[in-house]
């Protein structure tokens, strides 16, 4: 049911605007930003939109999503980025060096600055050894940050959930310990407002169905709740337009899961 496509809609949210400001500042300063927020508020959706917009403006942007398979593997994380440029040679034995060569840029060139960003999503999942790797890689840009306009650097934006479930099934706060001494920006995102949820729902469905979707979004506090209910209702209904009853049936089927 999650494969049911969503209509291509765009809603300008506080999450989007905040991430835009973070990316802009981090790109210009080759900084290191840590952004945390609740699950399902639209972080990933906004990041993908912004990454495309920044690339269109000439910023070098690479996105990396933390997954279980690479969360504790330095080469795995590095190679995930390198593969976006079809770089295969030497990457297993020189992953850090090759990744630095890809990411570095003349961010502070006074005549023609070339910002460069590495954005990692679901960043709460990175293990300390990978966070240390990212920190050491970022540190290579210190000569540029310290005033050498001809030196090379890049910015990092770490975006993740405020907390995660550890291997013992206990909820932990996402701390990003190895990066805290380097962070130039730290932001905690808030849940979407009622107005944002209602606007999003209205772009997915007609008035009655949209009200049901928005109400569910308000109960779950997330965009993701709206998306799941819409996708399920769409997959279960052959009607051209969803009804409020379709949405309510889907919500009951979900059992309140967001």
Geometric angle at alpha carbon 21, from 124 and 142, rounded to 5°: 70
Most confident of 57-61, 95-99, 233-237: 57-61
* Domain 14-188, classified CATH 3.40.50.300, yes or no: yes
As beta bridge partners, residue 60 has 116
Give the confidence band of 92 by pLDDT, cuts at 50, 70, 90: low
Q: Tell me which of 7-16, 39-48, 94-103, 229-238 is least confident.
A: 7-16
Q: Cite the residue boundaries of each domain of the chain with CATH code 3.40.50.300.
A: 14-188
Name the residue among 119, 2, 136, 135 with its Cα closest to residue 66. 119
The sign one gets for the Cα dihedral 79, 26, 37, 41 is: negative
Tell me the two tokens of residue 6: 């969503």
User: Each residue of 193-219: pLDDT tens digit?
Assistant: 999 999 999 999 999 999 999 999 999
User: Each residue of 10-52: pLDDT tens digit?
Assistant: 678 999 999 999 999 999 999 999 999 998 899 998 999 999 9
User: Each residue of 149-174: pLDDT tens digit?
Assistant: 899 999 999 999 986 665 666 666 77
pLDDT of residue 135 exceeding 80, the answer is yes
């Amino acid at each position: 049911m999650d494969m049911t496509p969503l209509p291509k809609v765009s809603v300008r949210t506080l999450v989007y605007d905040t991430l835009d400001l973070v990316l802009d500042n981090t790109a210009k300063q080759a900084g290191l930003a840590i952004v945390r927020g609740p699950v399902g508020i639209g972080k990933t959706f906004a990041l993908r939109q912004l990454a495309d917009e920044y690339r269109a403006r000439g910023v070098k942007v690479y996105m990396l999503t933390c997954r279980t398979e690479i969360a504790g593997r330095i080469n795995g994380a590095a190679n995930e980025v390198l593969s976006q440029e079809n770089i295969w040679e030497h990457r297993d034995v020189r992953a850090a060096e090759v990744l630095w060569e890809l990411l570095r840029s003349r961010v502070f060139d006074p005549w023609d600055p070339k910002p460069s960003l590495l954005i990692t999503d679901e960043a709460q999942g990175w293990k300390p050894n990978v966070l240390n790797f990212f920190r050491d890689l970022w540190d290579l840009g210190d000569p540029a940050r310290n005033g050498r306009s001809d030196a090379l650097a890049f910015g990092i934006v770490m975006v993740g959930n405020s907390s995660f479930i550890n291997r013992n099934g206990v909820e932990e706060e996402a701390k990003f310990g190895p990066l805290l001494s380097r962070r130039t920006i730290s932001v905690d995102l808030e849940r979407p407002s009622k107005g944002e949820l209602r606007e999003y729902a209205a772009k997915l469905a007609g008035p009655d169905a949209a009200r049901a979707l928005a109400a569910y979004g308000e109960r779950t506090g997330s965009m993701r709740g709206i998306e799941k209910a819409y996708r399920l209702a769409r997959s279960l209904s052959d009607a051209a337009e969803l009804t409020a009853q379709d949405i309510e049936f889907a919500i009951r089927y979900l059992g309140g899961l967001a």
